[in-house]
């Protein structure tokens, strides 16, 4: 599934840890936005990892699942194309 993950983290150290974690799961397309192709297990894993870093009363992390039909309607202005689904998966 295609997931867009965005975050707003006021603390520099936590924000850096969130970013480093997300780099293992997807493509950074903006400073606080990642596009990821994840299966259900990977999605649960990344949510668990991020929850251990984030503070509920200060941080905001959002997950948007985009269906295949809706992906064809994504419009981009600028130089970064929509992340492509990888042709291989590391196990």
- How many other C-beta atoms can be found within 10 angstroms of the C-beta atom of residue 10? 10
Instruction: Catalogue all structural domains in the chain, each as residue range(s) with its CATH number.
Output: 2-71 (3.30.70.240)
Least confident of 11-15, 40-44, 68-72: 68-72
pLDDT band at residue 9 under the 50/70/90 scheme: very high
- Rounded Cα distance between 28 and 33, Å, is 6
Residue 14 has pLDDT above 80, yes or no: yes
Residue 45 has pLDDT above 70, yes or no: yes
pTM of the model: 0.82
Q: Residue 52 to residues 14, 46, 83: CA-CA distances in angstroms?
A: 10, 10, 26
């Amino acid at each position: 599934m295609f997931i867009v993950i965005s975050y707003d983290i006021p603390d520099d150290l936590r924000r850096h840890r969130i970013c480093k974690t997300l780099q293992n799961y997807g493509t950074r397309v903006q400073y606080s936005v990642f596009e990821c192709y994840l299966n259900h297990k990977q999605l649960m894993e990344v949510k668990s990892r991020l929850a251990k870093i984030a503070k509920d009363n200060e941080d905001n992390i959002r997950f948007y699942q985009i269906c295949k039909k809706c992906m064809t309607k994504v419009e981009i202005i600028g130089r970064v194309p929509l992340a492509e689904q990888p042709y291989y998966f590391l196990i």
